[in-house]
Amino acid sequence: MADPAVLKTPDEMRSFSLMALREDKSLGFVPTMGALHAGHKALIERARKENDLVVVSIFVNPTQFGPGEDFEKYPRTFEADEKLCAQAGADAIFFPDKKAMYSENARTFVEVGGLQDVLCGMSRPGHFRGVATVVTKLFNLVRPTRAYFGRKDAQQLRIIQTMTRDLDLPVEVVPCEIVREPDGLAMSSRNKYLSPPQRKQALCLAHALAHCKKAVAGGERDAMKLIGEMAEIVEDESDGEIDYIAIVNAETLDDVAVIAGECLAAMAVKIGQTRLIDNVRLNG
């Protein structure tokens, strides 16, 4: 298991990509903010299977954090991340600093109208503009054949798919299933913030969503009723603050009244100071 090359500047990244292009090698790309866990590892392993070369980026992107959010305290664990990337078979880690990624007077941003304003976009204005912009920049530097995104961030995935289509970005976006802890909690770098009692309460998201999925499989189609039941589960099992619980069309992210076709049940709940998100796909 060779250690992945660590590329710290956009120039180093560009040289690596150019080499891949010249040698006609396919390149799989996994963009992350670090503090890597088994969810990230699954993405890297999938990229490893499907491509000649694999690049993981680790960049805590300042433009996707709002004022008062956790940019400063976001966990930064480079040494452990490097090990996980090596184990999962990455060839290179792109690990730039903020200055290398953003010129002081950067004034160009990518916005995905509508999709960026609902669900998480309501309480995190500007978040998805930051995500879409940094992913576009990363795509331009890395020039991947395929890029791997987790369904854990379902809205982000939908936004990246839409942006890639709308701007004709020459990359295949590959959605990957959510990796969960044995008890059902969706893996997240932010789970590190939870105290043991909060960790128990955090299960309310997975429990509520599992209830919803089961009810839909059993024939329930009334979205309002299910949202009410999910809220009850969250309230019974935690003293968390519900940011939103929604059932939306999986493509448009518009609220639905009746579950038909591909839908998504999604929620964000603040347990203490930690905002957690989770979702399940529903087939109506």
Burial class, 72, CB count within 10 angstroms (exposed 0-12 / middle 13-18 / buried 19+):
exposed
Site for ligand AMP in 242-271 (CB under 6 A): none
Q: Which of 188, 198, 238, 274 binds ligand AMP (CB under 6 A)?
A: 188
SS (H, E, C) 193-226: HCCHHHHHHCHHHHHHHHHHHHHHHCCCCEHHHH
Report the amino acid identity of residue 64: Q
CA distances 135 to 30, 164, 255, 281, Å, are: 11, 10, 26, 24
Assess 128 for contact with ligand AMP (CB under 6 A): no
- Single out the residue of 43, 55, 194, 245 in contact with ligand AMP (rule: CB under 6 A): 43
Size of the residue set binding ligand AMP (CB under 6 A): 16
Q: Which residue lies nearer to ligand AMP by CB, 32 or 198?
A: 32
With CB atoms as reference, the residue minimizing the distance to ligand AMP is: 150
Would you count residue 189 as binding ligand AMP (CB under 6 A)?
Answer: yes
Rounded Cα distance, 1 and 84, in Å: 11
Which residues in 133-172 contact ligand AMP (CB under 6 A)? 149-150, 152-153
Q: Token pair for residue 282?
A: 């529903």
Residue 230's Cα: distance from chain center in Å?
A: 23
Query: Is 40 marked active-site?
Result: yes
Binds ligand AMP by CB under 6 A, chosen from 17, 32, 155, 201:
32
Return residues touching ligand AMP (CB under 6 A).
32-33, 39-40, 43, 149-150, 152-153, 176, 178-179, 186-189
